[in-house]
Amino acid sequence: MLQTTKINIEIDEKAIASFIERELQRQINQQLLLVDISKLSELTSMSVRYLEDEILPDPRVRIHERKKNRKRWWLAQPTLKAIEEIVNSW
């Protein structure tokens, strides 16, 4: 007679959902070419005003700014890396 083994698998649904959300955001962010102020605000969880006052004037971010008429965009990946450097220096 064969012995049967019982296996219990517990799945943490919150951890899985969190992991999937992080991976999706990472993939989306890697494909961005340009971001505007509202997208930067969304990605960094910083207000537009705080970005305008504290982050965007920094030369590490300014070099990635592009303008056309009155609209401004920033190169996504280098700008996000520069913001990370700024935040890490606090």
The CA-CA-CA angle for residues 49, 44, 59, to 5°, reads 65
Structure tokens at 1: 């007679």
CB 75 within 8 A of CB 33: yes
Q: Tens digits of per-residue pLDDT, 46-72?
A: 999 999 999 999 999 999 999 999 999
Structure tokens at 58: 């920094």
Confidence (pLDDT) at 27: 78
Q: Tens digits of per-residue pLDDT, 15-29?
A: 999 999 888 887 776
Please provide the distance, in angstroms rounded to a whole number, between the alpha carbons at the two ends of the chain. Answer: 67
